[in-house]
Amino acid sequence: MSFDNRHALLPIYKDDSQHLVVMKSVQVGISEWLITVLLSKMIQGWSVLYSLPTESLRNTFVANRIDVLTKTVPLYRHGLKISKGESDQVGLKHIFKGAVWFVGSNSKVGFVERPADMVIVDELDTSNQKSLELAPDRLKASKYKYFWNVGNPSIPKYGIHKIYTESDAKVWQVKCPVCNKWQGLDFYKNVVRQIEENVWELIDKNYGVVCNKCSRSLDRLSAGEWVARHSGKETSGYHISQLFSPTVTIKEIYDQFIKGQTDQTAMQVFYNSYLGLPFEGSGSKLTALILESKCMSDYLMPSIAEDCTAGIDVNWPQLNVRISDYPDGRRRAVYIGTVYSFAALTNLLNQYDVKHAVIDIAPERHKVAEYQSSHKFLWTCQYTGTTSPDDIETVLIKSEKAARAGDVKKITIDRTIAIDAMVADILQGNNQLPKNFKSIDNGQYLEQLEAPTRLLDESKNPPRYVWDEGNNPDHYFHCDVYDYMAMRIKNTIGDMMPRITTVCA
């Protein structure tokens, strides 16, 4: 095992504190460290409860991480062979003198009647917090009582961030070779600087890291030391980010940061997964000023168009519709309005030569399913309110594969991710609106686009960001989301789907 260019990891490997927390980004070597610790404790004869967010993730982790080791590494294969127990299952492994129970936090069964010497909670923030409340009881009979928490942060003062801030909160510091200043790396001090509101630039145009005092070049992978910000704390805490990872370049981190300037989902990924920091993303919304500056163009909507997309929100008996064409590659609104029957919708879609369309599946599921069966270009969309790692392109590729396998043409997507992507498209100047957009449908179009606000919903488990319209109508807002997804279908899947013969039952 080598720690070249990974100097920050060695002290973590050597830390055998009873209570330990690591707040991390992805791709920094922490999973490998946890597995090493786990197997070393089993050599000592410990019983370990290892928790992952779901049983599905548990199964994948055991198959890809643990089973591979016991099959390919002679030491661990021997440990499995000479173990006290005979269990070699997904949820229970006997290796050497010890045992480990791998559990998914979405099932409380794994947290009862299993005594342990050590509990490891991997990815705390996305775990079921109610189940984790039972975990300390598993340690009551042990003389060791080790409890470790690891994971990517999500929001401030929650989960891994809360535990880290209550620990000794160590930060990794490196020394400037020119001015000798010791410093923890801060993206906003060592990599970029702000030149005006919402405008940033690299300090080192060659994607280097500089000293926050003398601005000379700094080796982010050099040897350093962990410095505790709080003394006298029971829990040993570490924060480690991709700024210290030899496998991730500063360009990759910077590119994600720039993407996040117009996309709240991308910015949350930048903070949580790249910097290993919580993200505060409340308060975003569309306004008349934003729409005027980013979208308004010098045209009026035409009465006909070609090769269009459409987004339809169902507010029965009313159907809110947005139709777009693409004269210069950008999405341009050619119709925004309402119809009051599916027959009228068909006439409208034919009038504008709509080739790709997405319609809200709820609340009129049966009516929509019947309509879809005779319109092969039509996809249904269902929002989910649960956290999903899939972006729109991944969702569409999976949806296409399912449709080709015989399923109906349907999209199931995280609501926040879908809306974030549509709003990002607007902020990036890719959505064109007519010069009279403020008066469309007596001002209802503008009013409904302004209705939703991005807020933190703390009632969720775990808490997550949602777009909340505050009981105000927002049908046109979702028309834009669905039309945006139709555009992504046009670009990602193209004209392949009309050849599918399976229709909705």
What's the pLDDT at 501?
Answer: 30
Q: Report the range of poorest mean pLDDT among 18-27, 314-323, 391-400, 472-481.
A: 391-400
Residue 387: what pLDDT? Answer: 56
Q: H-type helices in 18-84, by residue range?
A: 30-43, 55-61, 67-72, 74-81
CATH (domain of 451): 3.30.420.240
Judge if 166 and 29 occupy the same domain: yes
Average pLDDT over residues 295-315: 96
Given this model, what pLDDT does residue 502 score?
A: 29
| Amino acid identity, position 431 | N
Task: Please state, in angstroms and rounded to a whole number, the distance separating the CA atoms of residues 84 and 94.
Answer: 7
Question: Per mean pLDDT, which of 21-35, 87-101, 374-388 is the most reliable?
Answer: 21-35
Note whether 421 and 263 are within 8 A (CB): yes
Asked if residue 485 has pLDDT above 50, the reply is yes
The percentage of residues in the chain with a pLDDT greater than 90, rounded to a whole number, is 76
CA 155/CA 143 separation, integer angstroms: 34
* pTM of the predicted structure, to 2 decimals: 0.84
Reported as a pLDDT band with limits 50, 70 and 90, residue 386 is low
Greater pLDDT, 366 or 504 = 366
The identity of residue 113, as a single letter, is E
Whether residue 315 is contained in a domain is answered as: yes
Please report whether residue 434 resides in a domain: yes
Q: Tell me what the mean pLDDT of segment 162-181 comes to.
A: 98
Q: Check whether residue 22 and residue 137 sit in a common domain.
A: yes
Identify which has the larger pLDDT, 198 or 111: 111
In this structure, are 238 and 346 located in the same domain?
no
CATH number at residue 64: 3.40.50.300
The predicted-structure confidence for 333-368, as pLDDT tens digits, reads as follows 999 999 999 999 999 999 999 999 999 998 888 999
DSSP track, 197-219: TTEEEESSTTT-EE-TTT--EE-
pLDDT in tens, 412-461: 999 999 999 999 999 999 999 999 999 999 999 999 999 999 998 888 77
Are 240 and 370 within one domain? no
Residues 236 and 296 in one domain: no
Residue 469 is predicted with a pLDDT of 94
pLDDT value for 498: 43
- Tell me, yes or no, whether 376 and 448 share the same domain: yes
Is position 342 within any domain?
A: yes
Domain span at residue 98 reads 9-181+215-244
Of 332, 341, 336, 353, nearest to 314 by C-alpha is 341
DSSP 505: -
- The verdict on 163 and 68 lying in the same domain is yes
Is residue 275 a contact partner of residue 188, using CB atoms and an 8 Å limit?
no
pLDDT digits (tens, 9 = 90+) for 3-40: 889 999 999 999 999 999 999 999 999 999 999 999 99
User: Is the same domain home to 295 and 220?
Assistant: no
- Judge whether 123 lies within some domain: yes
Per-residue pLDDT of 109-126, as tens digits, reads: 888 878 999 999 999 999
Q: What is the radius of gyration, based on Cα positions, of the chain?
A: 27
Query: Does residue 199 form part of some domain?
Result: no
Burial class (CB in 10 A: 0-12, 13-18, 19+), 125: buried
Residue 468 and residue 326 in one domain: yes
Q: Judge whether 96 lies within some domain.
A: yes
- Give the integer Cα–Cα distance in Å for 402 and 396: 10
Alpha-helical runs (H) found in 317-414: 342-351, 365-372, 392-404
- On average, the pLDDT of the chain sits at 91
On whether both 469 and 405 belong to a single domain, the answer is yes
DSSP output for 223-252: -EEEEESSSS-SSEEEEE-GGG-TTS-HHH
Q: With 80 as the cut, is the pLDDT of residue 505 above it?
A: no
Using CA atoms, how far apart are residues 237 and 202, in angstroms rounded to an integer?
Answer: 30
Specify the pLDDT at position 282: 81
For the cut 80, the answer to whether the pLDDT of residue 464 exceeds it is yes
Q: Rounded CA gap, 365 and 376, in Å?
A: 17
User: What pLDDT sits at residue 86?
Assistant: 62
Domain assignment present for residue 271? The answer is no
Bridge partners, residue 24, by sequence: 240
Total domain count, the chain: 2
User: Do both 434 and 309 map to the same domain?
Assistant: yes
Q: Quick check: is 159 in a domain?
A: yes
Query: Do residue 358 and residue 240 come from a single domain?
Result: no
* Residue 70 pLDDT grade (very low, low, confident, very high; cuts 50, 70, 90): confident
50-68 per-position pLDDT tens digit: 999 999 999 999 999 999 9
Q: Write the DSSP symbol of residue 108.
A: G
pLDDT the model gives residue 496: 45
